Structures are given as structure tokens and as C-alpha cells.
Structure 1
Amino acid sequence: MTERTLESELSGIRALILDIDDTIVDTRAAMAEAGTHAAGALWPERTGAHRDMAQRYYDDPGRWFHRYAAGEISIERMRLERLGDVASAFGVQLPGDGVERYLAAYVPAFRRAQRLFDDVPDLLATAARLGIDVALLTNSTTADTSIKLEALGLAERFADLIVTTDTFGFGKPDPRVYREVCRLAAADPAVSVCIGDSLEWDVLGAMRAGMRAVWLDRGGQGEATAEVSRVESLSEITAALADGHGRFGTAAGDR
């Protein structure tokens, strides 16, 4: 099999399909900040543990978010189970109205905590200059995605170019969501590249759907292989697009 380099993945592309959480938006930090605030509102007696509670909710050791993304459970059940796990791990009770109280504190704090990664604006500007369409594919809900994009001033830009779990009732890695986002971007999957932080969802799932893919490994903890193109910053993609504009007019050969 031909080695997958960044240049080969970008050659001749017509669309960039970007993941949102921890790819263009610092969701880990936002969830930690908002979750710490919400845990404090729900369990004020556990002073000093609220940050760790928020981290456990984010880590989701029971993989409830994966079950939600697969369409196996509702968003309400997912949230209930994750909060129940936090309560059990820290020896506290989850009140009957615990999810509602948690969300009442969490949502406004989450909105305030939204931050766009510094390497995103240049990538979007370069894609626009080169005539490459950009669409978003996320396993988050429409409501949560709207919070993020509205807070960052991106809602209008991507209004008709987003696929969430609400689109079909499931998300990545089902091949239908990749095909749908390519349809919205008016680009064939073969000339569309999916970029995201999840090797499972944003790379391998996209490749199985007939797309190209680049793994964004911001922490630099992953291992580069011939089968997967890996970068540590979106700036690498921006630079490759800008430097290779003259070479990227024709799709790559045998893949």
C-alpha cells in the first residue's frame, strides 16, 4: 500500500471535513472549567474534589458517550450514567433532579469557556482563499454544537455545513455520517479529507467511508505509521496547502 503522507492526503482535495471537539475547539478545557463549576453547584460539600469530578466526567470510563454516538442510548441516559459514575466514584449521592441541576450550572459556564485553537483561523482563511470548502462533522448534539459555534462567532459560517448526532440519530464511525457531510460540502468522499483528534472516529472511520484522513495529535503522544498521516498542529496542514497549491490541482494516484 502506498504510504499516506500529508501531501498525498491533501493532493487534489475539494473539501476539508473538520471535527469540532478538541480539533478546532478546546472542549477538554471547556468541559473541565464548566464541569468544575457544575460539580460545585451540585455537591458543594465536596470542596477540593470538583475539578477531579469534572475530569472523570470528561474521561467517561464507562464509554457512555460512545454508546450515545452509536445510537444505542439517548443523550439523557448518557448524561445520567456519566454523572452517576462520578457520584459513585466520589462517594456522593446523585439527587433525583441532579442532571437538571448540573446542566443549569454547566451550560452557561460552558458557553463562557469556549476557546478556538490558535491554528484554526489561518486554516479556514487558507481554505477559503484556495476555494476548498470546509464542513464540520461532530458526535456532539446540535444544541451543544450551537453553543460552541455561536460563542465563537462561527454559527453563520457553518449553518448548512454541519452533521451532528441529531442528523441521523447516531454519529461517527457510521459511514453514513461521513457521506452526508461530503454531500453537504458538495464533494466526493475520495477528494475530501477528514481531520480530527480521534484516531478511531476521525481517521479510521473516515477511511472506511472512502475518504482521506489526517490525524491531529495535538499532544504528540501518537506514533506515526505509514498507514496514517499525523500532524501535531493544524498549522502543518495550512502550510502544506499554501506551499503545495500548485501541486494540489490533481487528485492523488492509486491509493
Structure 2
Amino acid sequence: MPPAAIDLTRIRAVTLDLDDTLWPIWPTITRAEASLLQWLVAHAPSTAALYSNTEALRAIRNQMVALRPDLKHDLSALRRESIRLALTQAGDDAALAEPAFEVFFAERQRVELFVDAHSTLAFLSQRYPVVAVSNGNADVHRVGIGHYFKASISAREFGVAKPDPRIFHAAASAVGVQPHEVLHVGDDATLDAQAAINAGMQAVWLNSTGQDWPHAQPPHATVATLTELCRMLEGLAAPASQPASPRPHAL
């Protein structure tokens, strides 16, 4: 099935995924886990000895997904409870889970944006209200990009995660538009692009690694970079009688 062309005239708002769309997530998580381990060495040495590397900390966090499926939408709670479990297993004070998590969470907000993220956010926010829609626990204000967004909807705060259409509908409602008036942009074929289509939105898949599209219904567009997204939207907006500029505005 060929992709449906983006209808620029319908777009009254843009929703954006965060992790792996505006920055790479795993370098951030690795640094945050290293900071957590360093804190445990100083404040909970038995736990640091039992979970002596970041891989072990990640493994018990992943174990918590099975132990607490009720928290699957809340990555902060999953991480906090995994730290609490590690402390308990090692015989350290379980109350240390709260300050330990805060160390992890502070470092988790220190993301390294993709080189074209700021210019893309500026380009989009000058044209549309922009809403963050994320299953993760990044805070756009602590990250330093909150001024680009009219709203931010997280699975943790909303109570359900992508691909549930309700979180997409909440994002549309946050800026007073209907789902069919929204263009969603994200890196995950299923949780972002396909889910947005199922929610009645137009969708752009940010496919930076050249993956094959895994679903029957294709996204409205696929781009490899955020810069390509801006060029595409600017090209669509250019008058038919004039060639689109080869360079995106404000990039």
C-alpha cells in the first residue's frame, strides 16, 4: 500500500516523541546508571557490591517490569522500585531508594540533543503549537527545551502509554485541536507512527537507521533526520509555481 501524502492544510498542531527522536536515549541511561552506581558505592555499599555494574542495575530494573506490570506506564516508578528491591536484597535501608532515584533522575535529564533538534523545534514551534508525547520520564523543562512546547503529555502522568490512542487524543485536546488536525513525529514505527495513524492523526516516521516498515499501512512520510522533516514541510508549504528552497528556513 503506498503512503498517503501529507495534507499540510489539515495540520494545526504537531506532536513529538522525545527519546530517540530529539536525542539518543541509551547514552543518557548509561550515564544515569553510572551516576546511580557511584552514589550507591558511597551510601549503600552492600547494594553496590551486590549490583556492581550498570548491567546488573539495568537487569533488576527490567525484572521489575514483570514484578509490577501495574507500573509499566511509569518508568520513574519502575526504576525507583527496582532500586528499592536492590537495597532490600542487599540488606541496606530501603528508604534510600528515594534519594538514589533522584540522583539517577537528575542525570537522566542531561540529554545530548541531536545536532538539528533545536533548529527543528524552533522551525516547528514558529508554525504550530507543539506537544511532547512520551512514554519516557524526561522533563522538557529540565532538559531545557520547554519553551518550544505548548504542552507535554507523559505516560507516567496521564496513566496510559503509547500506543493507546487516548494519550494521542489528550495531546490534541491540550492545544484545542482534533486528532485529524495533528501531525505526529516519532522514531518508533509501532508506538509512534502506527499508533498515531490509529488515533486518527497524520504520522511521520523518523527512521534514522534505515529499518523496514513493519506494518501493512505505511506512514504518511518517512524521514531520516529532523532536518529532512523541516525541508519536507517547507517544500510542501512552498507555492506550486515556485520551486522549494533547497535549504530549510531557520536551519
Q: TM-score range by the shorter chain?
A: 0.7 to 0.9
Aligned match of 1:245 in 234, 237, 240? 237
* C-alpha separation in 1, matches of 2:71 and 2:141: 22
| Structure 1 residues without counterparts, runs of 5 or longer | 249-255
1:40, distance to aligned residue in structure 2 (A)? 2.9
Q: Equivalent residue for 2:113?
A: 116
Q: Structure 2 vs 1, CA of residues 54 and 120 (structure 1 numbering), >3 Å: closer, same or farther? A: farther
**Residue of structure 2 equivalent to 1:149:** 141
Shift of the 82–48 alpha-carbon distance from structure 1 to 2, 3 Å rule, reads closer
| Residue matched to 1:4 | 3
Q: Once the two structures are superposed, what CA deviation does each residue of 1:16-75 show, in whole Å capped at 9, x if it has no partner?
A: 1101122113332221101112023225655995343465478x36646975355xx795
The match for 1:217 among 198, 202, 207 is 207
Classify the secondary structure of the residue corresponding to 2:237.
Answer: coil
Bigger-Rg structure (1/2): 2
Higher relative contact order (CA 8 A, sep 6+): 1
- 1:52 maps onto 2:42 in alignment: no
Please state how far the C-alpha of 1:181 moved relative to its aligned partner. Answer: 0.7
Asked whether the equivalents of residues 21 and 27 of structure 1 are also in contact (C-alpha less than 8 Å), the reply is: yes
The CA distance in 1 between the partners of 2:201 and 2:69, in whole Å, is: 22
Alignment of 1:25 onto 2:20: no
Q: 1:133 aligns with which of 129, 135, 160?
A: 129
RMSD of Structure 2 on Structure 1 (CA): 3.5
Q: Secondary structure at the match of 2:113?
A: coil
Equivalent residue for 1:205? 195
Corresponding letter in the other structure for 2:22: I
Q: Given the two structures, how large is their TM-score scaled by the length of structure 1?
A: 0.72
The percent of aligned pairs where both chains have the same amino acid is 21
Q: 1:223, 1:94 → 2: CA distance?
A: 47
Task: Return the TM-score normalized by structure 2.
Answer: 0.73
How far the C-alpha of 1:195 sits from its partner, in A, is 1.2
State whether structure 2 residue 191 is matched by structure 1 residue 191. Answer: no
CA distance in 2, matches of 1:221, 1:54: 31
Give the whole-Å Cα distance in 1 for the aligned partners of 2:52 and 2:218: 39
Residue of structure 1 aligned with 2:217, choices 206, 220, 227: 227
